[in-house]
Structure 1
Amino acid sequence: MSRRAKTAVYGVLCLLALPFLFPTWWMVTSSLKPVGDIFAFPPTLFPTDVSFDAYAKAFELQPFARQYFNSMYIAALVTVGTLAVSSLAGYAFARIKFKGANLWFVVILVGLLIPSEVTIVPLFKMFDAWGMVDTHWPLILVPILGAPSVLATFIMRQFFLALPGELEEAAKVDGLGRFAIFRLIALPLARPALGAVAIFTFLHSWNLYLEPIVFLSSSEMFTLPQALTQFVDAYGGPMWDIQLSAASLTALPVLVVFVIAQRQFIEGLAHTGLKG
């Protein structure tokens, strides 16, 4: 491709990216504006009077730092737990032959077809009986053992199916057992798929909204999606500058995770056949 053609392609791609980038740009820049300038017409692309007061107020009006930590550690635990469960299950379905393997895998995939709204009431009754309501245990256990883990298992299985069988045969000749083959050979090679699963899982846990509003009632236990709805004035109206500031802080970890793992994410999708 010639230099002129590359420039034209990049120019078109930049134009196509504008509708996706502009909302984020507006959110961040508006969080630095006074309330009266947020919805000014015509809108301004750059704040004329930069102020970080809304960011400070976000931490003053409610325990936002604690809520931020809640989302961070829950997403981290869910990601690690899902990686462990899905990699083991995906490897078992892909590389270990046992009776009814395909049938059991189809049964597990059916879990993706069940909306979370259908199971939320039985789950609430179960966790209430265990004394886990208004704790973070439901937000950790349900994603690890529920539908997000099913999708992760599917991705890992597809990746492990593509691994050459000669690698396992050579490892068996060297005296390695099944778990040693998984830990020393299959898992290191699955880094791209693990990266894709990690991003999917982290995003799902970070943006989880239905389960927190059902299971949590104390503001100190809230996660960020639930906390964002609490920035309202005495009449129940939205405090736009503070909400936009809190939303900007909420989006930051997602961007960091994607930038760090984007190569593994793209490679993982390419190897598992989930091309867009």
Structure 2
Amino acid sequence: MKVLVYGLMSVLLIPFVFPTWWMVTSSVKPISDIFAFPPDIVPTRFDFSTYGRVFELQPFAQQYWNSAYIAALVTAGTMLFSSMAGYAFARIKFPFANTLFMIVLIGLLIPAEVTIVPLFQIFLGWDMINTHWPLILVPVFGAPSVFATFVMRQFFIALPKELEEAARVDGLGRFRIFWTIALPLARPALGAVAIFTFLHSWNLYLEPIVFLSSPANFTLPQALTQFTDAYGGALWNVQLAAATMTALPVLIVFIIAQRQFVEGLAHSGLKG
């Protein structure tokens, strides 16, 4: 029975694994071999110079750093503000709390394309065009933070009230209770929020092409579209080499935090 289950799982795994395998192997193939049919599972010729050309054609190291530090700041900021907002909505009683929370959730229903022009006008007035500030401020205080606030609220609602009551008997204030008791217990939910937020920031494409114009300020999704030859044609093997290096941090983050990711979804009521 186990052999049958493992065999079925292996077959179902192919559609998920093969595109990644094709990307990695094609990044070291000559362009003429990439679109061969049937595709070569294992390359017959290897050309590792494509990885060097990635850094020759674009300031890729700088662009890599841009995406890394922006994603780190956005993730940290979202975790901080969403945890405080989620705790407030879950544990603090104030007038119209549920109504206000529903209004906040409406932000998830508004497509980014609807707000991009007003946001551009705002950041233009603040002289922040062609800087990274829009890529940091918009996700931290926009829709990704709204979803993170929802996840954190669902987690904090499930915490036993006895913990807060015992902390109040010991003389702790509201912020101390949040910081020393509620937040450490919320590590599974914070792990899920961190993964969602990091992936969203790392893969962000629309906002960079609107707010950024200098190649030195580009983030990776925008930079991946710039690997072309003198005639404007795509350098597929070089693009795939850049895409392979771009995908590595995503895999690393998920492998490290996958347990927190699963536990966070389970405790916040989002499991399938």
TM range (shorter): over 0.9
Tell me which amino acid in the other structure corresponds to 2:14. Answer: L
Aligned ranges for residues 91-110 of structure 1 at < 5 Å? 91-110=87-106
Q: Is it true that 1:199 corresponds to 2:195 in the alignment?
A: yes
1:12 is displaced (CA, Å) by: 1.3
Describe how 1:143-162 pairs up with structure 2 within 5 A.
143-162=139-158
Deviates more, 1:131-140 or 1:40-49: 40-49
Distance in 1 (alpha carbons) for counterparts of 2:38 and 2:14: 18
Superposition map of 1:150-229 within 5 A: 150-229=146-225
CA distance in 2, matches of 1:150, 1:272: 14
Cα deviations by residue, 1:85-142 (Å, 9 ceiling, x for unpaired): 0000000000011111001100100101111100000000000000000000000000
Q: Deviations over 1:136-160 (max 9, x none)?
A: 0000000000000000000000000
Give the equivalent residue in structure 1 for 2:85: 89
Distance between the aligned counterparts of 1:98 and 1:148, measured in 2? 24
What is aligned with 1:127?
A: 123
C-alpha deviation, 1:7, in angstroms: 2.9
Q: Which residue of 1 aligns with 2:229?
A: 233
CA distance in 2, matches of 1:137, 1:246: 25
- Greater mean alpha carbon deviation, residues 228-237 or residues 192-201: 228-237
How far the C-alpha of 1:41 sits from its partner, in A, is 2.1
Report the Cα distance in structure 2 between the residues aligned to 1:78 and 1:200, rounded to whole angstroms: 11
Q: Which residue of 1 aligns with 2:31?
A: 35
Quote how far apart the aligned CAs of 1:51 are: 2.1
**Alignment partners' CA distance in 1, 2:122 and 2:22:** 43
5 Å-filtered alignment, 1:13-52, equals 13-52=9-48
Q: Normalized against structure 2, the TM-score is what?
A: 0.99
Which of 111, 117, 122 is matched with 2:113 structurally? 117
The alignment partner of 2:43 has SS state of: coil
TM-superposed deviation, 1:257? 0.2
CA-CA distance at 1:49 after TM superposition:
1.9
Partner of 2:70: 74
Runs of 5+ consecutive residues of structure 2 not aligned to the other structure: none
Q: Deviations over 1:145-204 (max 9, x none)?
A: 000000000000000000000111111111111111111110011000000000000000
| Secondary structure at the counterpart of residue 229 of structure 1 | helix
For the residues of structure 1 that align with 2:82 and 2:162, how far apart are their CA atoms? Answer: 23
TM-score, L = length of structure 1: 0.97
Report the Cα distance in structure 1 between the residues aligned to 2:146 and 2:218, rounded to whole angstroms: 26
Which blocks of at least 5 consecutive residues in structure 1 are unaligned? Answer: none
What is the alpha-carbon distance in structure 1 between the residues aligned to residue 187 and residue 7 of structure 2?
Answer: 33
Measure how far apart 1:52 and its partner are. 1.1
Q: Which residue of 1 aligns with 2:256?
A: 260
Structure 1 runs of 4+ off > 6 angstroms?
Answer: none
TM-superposition CA deviations, 1:220-244 (whole Å, max 9, x none): 0000000000001122111000000
Q: In the comparison of the two structures, how many residue pairs are matched? A: 272
Q: For 1:15 and 1:181, how far apart are their aligned partners in 2?
A: 49
CA deviation vs aligned residue, 1:38-57 (integer Å, no higher than 9, x gap)? 11122111112222100000
CA RMSD after TM alignment: 0.8
Deviation at 1:254, TM superposition (A): 0.2
User: C-alpha displacement at 1:35, in angstroms?
Assistant: 1.3
Distance 1:204 1:142 in 2: 12
In 2, Cα distance between equivalents of 1:96 and 1:41? 62
Identity %: 73
